[in-house]
Amino acid sequence: MILVVDSGSTKADWRLIDENHQIIGFQTAGLNPYFIKSEDLVKEVSQNFPVTYNKNTIIRIIFFGAGCSTSSKKEIIYEGLSYLFPSAHIEIETDMFGASKALFENQKGISIILGTGSNSCLWNGESIESNSPSLGYILGDEGSGAHLGMTLLKRYLNNELPCELKTLLEDQYPISRDNILENVYRKPNPNRYLAQYTYFLKDTIHNPYIRFLVSECFLEFIDKHVKVFDNYTDYKVRCIGSVAHQFKDILLECALAGEIEIDKILQSPIDSLVQQYL
């Protein structure tokens, strides 16, 4: 049997393909090696792996993951997977590589990820030709769920939100200065904490202030992570991720404002990747 995995920072989608090409799907928390250790991976997957299947029958694993851009981070994922699946040949690539395969297959183009984090690359049909800098949720990730949430909370803490939005936010979340700082600076997975506020932004997107806030974040992403590629207007641009899917209309408007046309948006790459491996 084969496992194909697409992991972001918040969630990981798993597809188990058996010898009859039957596909069994399950989900775990995100397995970003910047935020987890090998033993965390073992625990998370063990708790969610379908109990009717023997792990020793897995002969190949193709893992596409956020944070898997260096050999040391890939090793964290490899150690956990090889412990769980001792008979498997394991291949580990970045989530950007998986997104590009899902969006373009063997065509050229600019691939975008907008989920909990964000990233982009120029895909030559076989591999990533060049990458924009991926600096994480503190120094980068413009346009991502973490960036959107951070922008909202900064304006809340600086008393910049309109009164009705401030009240609504306080009614829906256990929110205070101390609570925010505790979650951002002391608790694990602060990027996931920040990204959860995209649900509030989605629910209030009809408000002009919120719509402008989301637009500003997307425009910043386009300036820093799409227009950095030489002759970017010559390429098709496609996008993948939960934030891109949730705020599709605004993203398309912002792209057009930057003279960029996005012709495909997918919520997740996993199903396209599975079909390619099948």
Q: Is residue 76 part of a domain?
A: yes
* pLDDT over 90 at 216, yes or no: yes
Q: Where are the alpha helices (DSSP H) in the chain?
A: 38-48, 71-84, 95-104, 136-139, 145-157, 163-172, 177-185, 190-195, 198-203, 208-225, 242-246, 248-257, 270-277
pLDDT for residue 136:
64
What average pLDDT is seen over the chain? 90
* pLDDT over 80 at 252, yes or no: yes
Q: Is residue 42 part of a domain?
A: yes
Query: Can you give the CATH number for the domain in which 13 is found?
Result: 3.30.420.40
74, two tokens: 């890939």
Q: pLDDT tens across 150-187, in order?
A: 999 999 999 999 999 999 999 998 888 898 999 889 88
Q: pLDDT tens across 102-151, in order?
A: 999 889 999 999 988 888 999 998 888 888 777 666 666 889 999 999 99
Q: Is residue 80 part of a domain?
A: yes
pLDDT for residue 251:
94
Q: pLDDT tens across 223-235, in order?
A: 889 988 888 888 8
Report the domain count for the chain: 1
Taking a C-beta distance cutoff of 8 angstroms, is the pair 6, 100 a contact? no
Q: What 3-state class would DSSP assign to 84?
A: helix
Range of the domain at 68: 2-97+271-277
Q: Is residue 154 part of a domain?
A: no
Q: How far apart are CA 277 and CA 266, in angstroms?
A: 18
Per DSSP, the residues of 174-222 read ---HHHHHHHHHTSS-HHHHHHTTHHHHHHTTTSHHHHHHHHHHHHHHH
Q: Is residue 179 part of a domain?
A: no
Strands 2-7 and 11-17 come out as antiparallel
pLDDT for residue 276:
84
Higher pLDDT, 9 or 143: 143
Q: pLDDT tens across 63-85, in order?
A: 999 889 899 999 999 999 999 99
* pLDDT over 70 at 101, yes or no: yes
Q: How far apart are CA 232 and CA 83, in angstroms?
A: 43
Q: How far apart are CA 78 and CA 38, in angstroms?
A: 8
153, two tokens: 């909370």
Please work out, in degrees rounded to the nearest 5, the angle formed at the alpha carbon of residue 133 by the alpha carbons of 40 and 137: 45
Residues 6+ apart with CB under 8 A from 112: 99, 118, 119, 120, 225, 226, 237, 238, 239, 240, 241, 244, 262
Q: What 3-state class would DSSP assign to 228?
A: coil
CA atoms within 13 A on the CB side of 98: 31
Q: Is residue 139 part of a domain?
A: no
Share of the chain above pLDDT 90, in %: 56
Q: Is residue 82 part of a domain?
A: yes
Q: Is residue 122 part of a domain?
A: no
